[in-house]
Amino acid sequence: MTAAAITPRAKRAHRWRAVVWGVVGVLALAALWELYKLVGPADGWLVGAQEGVTGSGIRLLPRTSDQAMPHTWDMVARVIEPVTRAQGALPLGVVVLLAALTSLGIAALGWLVGVVVGFALALLMLGFRIAERAVLPFVILSQTVPLIALAPLIRNWGSRLEFGAFSWESWMSVVVIASYLAFFPVAVGALRGLQSPDAAHLDLMRSYAAGWWTTLFRLRMPASVPFLVPALRLAAANAVVGTVVAEISVGFTGGIGRLILETAVAASSDPAKPWAPILGAVLLGLVAAGFVALLAAFLSPFRRQETVA
């Protein structure tokens, strides 16, 4: 029922089982990949292809050639090899990790900006009924604008910003786009959470002659945590996706998004290479999710649900 009911020992066993199952899951995926590669047709399976016409027909099963589906061990081996044949080139894995770290920093910044903006909007909407009616439709509308349309606009506007020693860098555009995707779940989730205390609790705070801010800090904010944690997790996922996509559309070099694009170009001669940055992006997402889980653990006292008396 509650966390207190589980003994530490059972908890540790539970954690180990989770790790084991995670590893089993990854291995199973690799095995499935190899199995299909083994039994699947090398050229895939085309339906209705015309003789001598390339690109005709519908491919129902993907190709299993080393070109299209490199062996999983080749992918792993490629990670250790140098990124290019140039003298002193770093191993691909290191390059991917560095790029992922750069992207992680940008995503984290975007997430932070998104959370702050989202929470501020939620507070504004909480404080003023009019603001809720005026702002909420735009908050929802903002998410229907396609990212591809937005990226050049932001880069364009940003590049016109210039005061003193400050000049707009392309990573800033990436941060803005990542935060643009991250703020939405926070704004909506935080608003719901801040509005979640029931009338009896609000009456109680009023009977204590507590003002708006006191009620906010002592009642509304703690009560919003169960709604806020899933919103923060969504925001983290959005920030990572936003960063990867924005890096490509803004043209920011040094991040994982750009690396995916660059290695994809090399796919024909080096088929195992593009998979490394893709795995790097997955790793990035996992780290972001882990970070939010850590944050949620700190907030766990606020996630107790009140049982009905």
Partner 1 sequence: MSSPSPSTPAPEQTGATGMAGTAPAGAATDAATEAVVARGVERVFAGAKGAEVTALTGIELTVRAGEFVSLIGPSGCGKSTLLRLIADLDTPTAGEIRVFGKTAAQARIDQSYGIAFQQAGLLPWRTVAANIELPLQLHGADGATRRARVAELLDLVGLADFAKHYPDQLSGGMQQRVAIARSLAEQPRLLLMDEPFGALDEMTRERMQTELLRIRAETGAAVVFVTHSIPEAVYLSDRVVVMSPRPGRITDEVDVRLGDAADRGEDLREDAAFFAGVTAVREALHGAESAPAAGAARGVDVR
Main-chain dihedrals φ then ψ at residue 299, nearest 5 degrees:
-90, 5
Cβ distance to partner 1 smaller for residue 36 or 208: 208
Question: In 220-274, which ranges are continuous DSSP H helix?
Answer: 221-250, 256-265
Cβ distance to partner 1 smaller for residue 291 or 302: 302
Restricted to residues 184-203, the positions that interact with partner 1 (CB under 8 A) are 198, 200-201, 203
204 touching partner 1, by CB under 8 A: yes
Cβ distance to partner 1 smaller for residue 63 or 201: 201
Is 74 in contact with 272 (CB distance < 8 Å)? yes
**Binding residue for partner 1 (CB under 8 A) from 7, 144, 269, 305?**
305
210 touching partner 1, by CB under 8 A: yes
H or E stretch at 166: strand 166-167
What is the size of the binding site for partner 1 (CB under 8 A)?
Answer: 26
In the complex, the smallest distance separating the C-beta of residue 245 from partner 1, rounded to whole angstroms, is 37
Give the range of 30-38, 155-163, 167-175, 208-216 binding partner 1 by CB under 8 A. 208-216
4 touching partner 1, by CB under 8 A: yes
Main-chain dihedrals φ then ψ at residue 161, nearest 5 degrees:
-75, 125
Q: Which two tokens stand for residue 262?
A: 């660059």
What is the maximum alpha-carbon separation in the chain?
84
Residue span 273-302 as binding mask against partner 1, x where in contact by CB under 8 A, dash where not: ----------------------------xx
Is 173 in contact with 150 (CB distance < 8 Å)? no
**Binding residue for partner 1 (CB under 8 A) from 13, 206, 286, 297?**
206
**Binding residue for partner 1 (CB under 8 A) from 29, 36, 214, 265?**
214
Is 239 in contact with 110 (CB distance < 8 Å)? yes
Cβ distance to partner 1 smaller for residue 16 or 217: 217
Give the 3-state secondary structure of residue 90: coil
Give the range of 35-43, 147-155, 163-171, 214-222 binding partner 1 by CB under 8 A. 214-222
**Binding residue for partner 1 (CB under 8 A) from 26, 86, 141, 209?**
209
In the complex, the smallest distance separating the C-beta of residue 207 from partner 1, rounded to whole angstroms, is 5
Rounded CA-CA distance 71/175 in Å is 36
* Closest alpha carbon to 245 in 169, 189, 180, 188: 180
Which residues have CB under 8 Å from 58's CB, separation 6+?
Answer: 46, 47, 48
**Binding residue for partner 1 (CB under 8 A) from 143, 216, 218, 267?**
218
Restricted to residues 222-241, the positions that interact with partner 1 (CB under 8 A) are 222, 225
Give the range of 18-26, 187-195, 205-213, 253-261 binding partner 1 by CB under 8 A. 205-213
Cβ distance to partner 1 smaller for residue 150 or 223: 223
309 touching partner 1, by CB under 8 A: yes
Q: What is the DSSP letter of 233?
A: H
* Closest alpha carbon to 134 in 144, 120, 124, 143: 124
**What is the dihedral angle through the alpha carbons of 83, 89, 90, 93, rounded to the nearest 10 degrees?**
0
* Closest alpha carbon to 113 in 191, 165, 172, 190: 172
Cβ distance to partner 1 smaller for residue 26 or 199: 199
**10 Å Cβ neighbour count for 62?**
15
Q: Which residues are near partner 1 by CB under 8 A?
A: 2, 4, 198, 200-201, 203-204, 206-210, 214, 218-219, 222, 225, 301-309
